[in-house]
Structure 1
Amino acid sequence: MFRRTTVYSLYTKNSSGFSYPTQELPTADYNQLINLTFSFSVLNLVCNESSPMLLVLVHSSPKNFAKRKTIRDTWGKNEENVKILFMLGTVNSSDLQRSLEEENRLHNDFVQGNFLDTYRNITYKHVMVFKYVIYHCPQAKYILKTDDDVFVNMPMMKTFLSIDLSPYGANKLLFCTPRKHKKVLRTYRSKWRVSFAEYPNRNYPTYCPGWNLLYSPDVIFALYKEAQKAEYFWIDDIHITGTLAEKIHIIHTDIEPLVISREDLRYVVDDFTYNITKPFLYGRANLEEKQIRALWKFVTTHSMPKTVFEDVL
């Protein structure tokens, strides 16, 4: 079971909360994205008339229309206290761009930056997530960065944030599933090959896979400041939650116990007569659409524990 730690602190009703010190940023920061001149090509301002407890920013490949629909049909419904946006880069195809614009006209849930949407540009997208939060949704208490093949148990997530944590937010919080002592891939057969010139060390620092990153605002701002002035490295998980987080002494809180087990996932998807009593916040990474829909059906038809903490201190 997941346990409360003292790595982070929680705000109360009487706390002033975190205010982004944007005066610390360069004057031209808004139009800079690491080493690019930047602008938002598509910008939906979902926080203008609300102060969401949770802002969810989903990395999505432009061509993944069906995956975005699955999320909208299941866990990704916008409501007063939770806002969800899909984060995209630009595309080379005018037909694809027109389709994206039509999708956005229907749903108003895109943020698109002026960099090409490729896997070598994922770090730009991750830092764009930070930029959007800082400049366009500073009132969000928590920020979840995830991917379009992930299931978020939104009913449990809202309970977790408001009861197990605090509806008023937190400080020094980075919840994820850390990876330690991972070797740098050098083989030419790997999509994720990194040359010695790009990264000379044998192992990466401890980092978090990017599909379940729950941030507090102060961590967003600290990582953003570092990312904006650091040399570009294209594997965003390693660069942002590993190298930069280590540099500024951000500590990861491991929430692996709150990811559904492979066995439980199989039971749910196969629709066995089986009730999962262990609370979970996330399905696993790289889920198929049918798995996401099965998980949503399960969490909306079964009762779950009221708390995920074994000990409430």
Structure 2
Amino acid sequence: MTAKRNWSNFAVSLLALFMVIAVWQVFYSPNIPVEIPRYTKSAYTLYTNTSNYVYPIDSLTEIDYNQLIDLNFTFQMNNLVCNETSPLVLVMVHTSPKNFAKRRTIRETWGRYRDKVKLLFVVGDVENSTLKRKLIEENQNYSDFTQGSFKDTYRNLTYKHVMLFKYVIYHCPEARYIMKTDDDVFVNMPTMMNFLTQELSPFGAGNLLFCNSRANSRVLRSYRSKWRVSFSEYPAKNYPTYCPGWFLLYSQNVVFNLYKEAQKSKYFWIDDIHLTGTLVKKLNLVHEDSKPYMISQDELNDVVDGGNITRPFLIGQPNLSEKQIRSLWNYVDSHSVSKNIIQ
């Protein structure tokens, strides 16, 4: 009887302890935001035959083409690279006007891939007359710029990104996928094309936002940071889940929905946060994580040192040097193309 009574007392004490812990967690634990998945499986859909998706331009305002959020807008340089063709993917590379060497590196490496691919460099306007003249000459040589009438500055990154959407909607509606990268990024284009046509679909997809997603990022308040955001600009402590903008893969309908929402939303200058965080959350879209398809820093170092990568990959690390991009292209160009990415 004594042993039975002791066991009963122990069970009651244990239950009481669990209740105390539960109450403490509710009322006294730190207010740490937790990212709760909205879906247990992928939210995008793959088309199984020729897509009949058409950008619903009629739902936009009559002045939309010459409006960029809160600016009057024109394309100052605009190459119609799609020209009524049907590229599988349109690649739009954000580049600083002065980054001549980085653009040359892309043109001579992964940007050379032209089978069902179109590529454009996205820039804003510049005040320096010498730089302006050099950009015009570069565009005359390569015909691969699209330039907006806003100044090319950090604070105008959202204008730059939304202009990208505008170009796609009005000037390349045939592209099944839209890829946005920075000019210090490597894309394994031969394997990427297999990924798009075999693991995804050559006919396109719906509700796709494929990126290196990031959750629970703190808003930077330090005056030493170029990414400092004031409380009046963004009062919350943390940003919503978003995509760092160095690599993004969009489906057509995601491009249009984000564009339409951005055109009528209050301007926020960090494009990654605003477009792929705040507006994605508002539209209840879902990020598909590209991290498994990115090479690690160790794998990157191995390639630069002449070694091998033992698994297929789609993208390199962000913020690559020109030497690293060329090393990765030399590796890709001298090895067989991976037929399957999803293992």
Distance 1:105 1:176, change over 3 A: same
| Aligned residue number for residue 293 of structure 2 | 258
How many Å apart are 1:304 and its aligned residue? 4.4
Q: Confirm whether residue 302 of structure 1 aligns to residue 335 of structure 2.
A: yes
Q: Confirm whether residue 181 of structure 1 aligns to residue 253 of structure 2.
A: no
| Aligned residue number for residue 97 of structure 2 | 62
2:193 aligned counterpart, secondary structure:
helix
How many Å apart are 1:270 and its aligned residue? 1.4
Query: Following the alignment from structure 2 to structure 1, what is the Cα–Cα distance between the partners of residues 292 and 42?
Result: 18
How many Å apart are 1:18 and its aligned residue? 1.5
Distance 1:49 1:19, change over 3 A: closer
Structure with greater helix share of residues: 2
Query: Looking at CA atoms only, which structure, 1 or 2, has the larger radius of gyration?
Result: 2
| Aligned residue number for residue 38 of structure 2 | none
Question: Could you report, residue by residue, the CA deviation over 1:78-128 in whole angstroms, capped at 9, with x for unpaired residues?
Answer: 624100000000001011000000000000000000000001100000000
Q: Confirm whether residue 9 of structure 1 aligns to residue 17 of structure 2.
A: no
Amino acid at match of 1:259: M
How many Å apart are 1:50 and its aligned residue? 1.4
2:67 to 32, 41, 49: 32
| Aligned residue number for residue 206 of structure 2 | 171
Query: Following the alignment from structure 1 to structure 2, what is the Cα–Cα distance between the partners of residues 168 and 135?
Result: 20
1:137 to 151, 158, 172: 172
| Aligned residue number for residue 185 of structure 2 | 150
| Aligned residue number for residue 284 of structure 1 | 317
Amino acid at match of 2:341: V
Provide the identity percentage: 62
Q: Alignment length, in residue pairs?
A: 304
Question: Could you report, residue by residue, the CA deviation over 1:165-211 in whole angstroms, capped at 9, with x for unpaired residues?
Answer: 11110000000011100000001011100000000000000000001
2:76 aligned counterpart, secondary structure:
strand
How many Å apart are 1:17 and its aligned residue? 3.3
2:112 aligned counterpart, secondary structure:
coil
Query: Following the alignment from structure 1 to structure 2, what is the Cα–Cα distance between the partners of residues 215 and 288?
Result: 26
How many Å apart are 1:292 and its aligned residue? 0.1
Query: Following the alignment from structure 1 to structure 2, what is the Cα–Cα distance between the partners of residues 188 and 138?
Result: 42
Q: Which runs of 4+ in 1 moved over 3 A?
A: none
2:267 aligned counterpart, secondary structure:
coil
Query: Following the alignment from structure 2 to structure 1, what is the Cα–Cα distance between the partners of residues 310 and 45?
Result: 28
Structure 1 segment 125-274 matched on structure 2, within 5 A: 125-272=160-307
2:110 aligned counterpart, secondary structure:
coil
**Gaps spanning 5+ residues in structure 1: where?**
none
Query: Following the alignment from structure 2 to structure 1, what is the Cα–Cα distance between the partners of residues 264 and 153?
Result: 22
TM-score normalized with structure 2 length: 0.87
